Amino acid sequence: MSSNLLVNGDFSQGTTGWTLPSACFAIDPSTLAPNGAASLEMSDSAACGNPTPIAVNSLKVSGGEVYTLTGQIKTEDYIGENSGAGAMFFLYDFARSPIFNGTTDWTSVTLQHVPVSAGKTASLRLQTYDPVPTGNSWFANLSLQQEIPPGLQMFLLYPNYRGLMFSDQSQVASLDLTVTPAAGTSLASLQVVI
């Protein structure tokens, strides 16, 4: 896994790296994340002048890669105009967290193996799903990491899964190998010894 690609995903630098309507998003010094980190509060969504207030991280994710998205959400009396309304975070067009409403304590969400199509870009957004005129929600410890494939993957084709070679069968092992060179390394410079 790569390091966190988001710009200020833990809000340790306030709202730096985020584009948001200041009327309904703010750092909340009295509601800290479970690890003591800062949290971003979303409240009074009607004040934003848009039924779905959106905060967008400045990172634009490259396509053709696979990512893991994690974060934490908390809600308090977060009641929307319908039962499906609530707070969520998502990698725009590719994956989203569950929708949180009502009153919930800090909940961690992890979305693994999120592919972003080649030729596309994606942004991380914090927002409501449908209007939520009452209550508050908080976001904390957001992270987006690229899933880096292992350098060597091997699958034993023959002999069978028990590793038994029978005397009347081939005595040659058969393997499926996938080698993924690290950045800056060519496949020709590597050697696999079995």
Confidence category of residue 26, pLDDT binned at 50, 70, 90: very high
d(CA 63, CA 50): 29
Question: For the segment 148-181, what is each residue's pLDDT rounded down to a tens digit?
Answer: 887 788 887 888 767 778 888 888 888 888 887 7
Question: For the segment 64-113, what is each residue's pLDDT rounded down to a tens digit?
Answer: 889 999 999 999 999 887 888 899 999 998 999 999 999 999 999 999 99
Sequence ranges of the domains in the chain? 18-146, 152-189
* Mean pLDDT computed over every residue of the chain: 88
Residue closest to 85 by CA, chosen among 138, 133, 139, 24: 133
Q: Is the pLDDT of residue 2 over 90?
A: no
Confidence category of residue 42, pLDDT binned at 50, 70, 90: very high
Four-residue CA torsion sign, 59, 116, 54, 111: negative
Confidence category of residue 49, pLDDT binned at 50, 70, 90: low
Peptide bond before 159: cis, by omega within 30 degrees of 0? yes
Four-residue CA torsion sign, 29, 35, 40, 42: negative
Top-tier CATH class for 18-146:
mainly beta
Strands 95-96 and 134-146: unpaired
CA 180 to chain CA centroid, Å, is 23
Angle (nearest 5°) at CA 102 between 100 and 108: 35
Burial class (CB in 10 A: 0-12, 13-18, 19+), 87: buried
Alpha helices in 85-151 (DSSP H): none
Q: What is residue 153's predicted lDDT score, i.e. its pLDDT?
A: 81
Which amino acid would we find at residue 38? A
